[in-house]
Structures are given as structure tokens and as C-alpha cells.
Amino acid sequence: MTPILPTIKATDMPITYDLETDIRYLQGIEKNKIENVKNALLLNANTVEEISFMMGVPIEEIERIKKDMELDTDSSDNQNN
């Protein structure tokens, strides 16, 4: 015999979820910031300090991204030779 379970309506269970604390949401925000910094660096129109101010990203982080981009360029140049 199957037990009879009480029926619970969705309105009886209010669920709140703060999207801004979701790990995937935060990862997407971080990825977007990195891509924006990379694009700004590729334009070569602004200094690291200006990019930091405009994007709200620490100078150290921008310098790290810039170094990573240079390493990626160097490694791809070496593969082509």
C-alpha cells in the first residue's frame, strides 16, 4: 500500500534566492571583468592605471592579466616558428 503524503502548495513554501551570492553568477561577473580588461589592454589606448579606475579592478590584477597575455603571445609565436 502506498502511503498518502500531504499535498504542499508552492505558495506554502516561500523560497528566496539571492542570485548575487550564487557561485556561478559571481564566476560569470569575474570572467566578464577579465575579458573587458583584456580588450582594454589590446586597444593600447589607456594606461594600466586608467583601466584600473574605469573597470574597478586592482592595478596588480591588470598587470597579472597583461603578463599572462604576453606569455600567451610568446608561446604562440614560438609554436609558429
13 in any annotated domain = no
pLDDT value at 25 more than 90 = yes
44 in any annotated domain = yes
What per-residue confidence (pLDDT) applies to 14? 78
Q: Which domain holds residue 57?
A: 23-76
User: How large is the average pLDDT for residues 51-72?
Assistant: 94
Query: What is the value of pTM for the model shown?
Result: 0.67
What per-residue confidence (pLDDT) applies to 75? 74
Please give the C-alpha separations between residue 51 and each of 21, 26, 46, in angstroms, as whole numbers. Answer: 26, 21, 6
47 in any annotated domain = yes
1 in any annotated domain = no
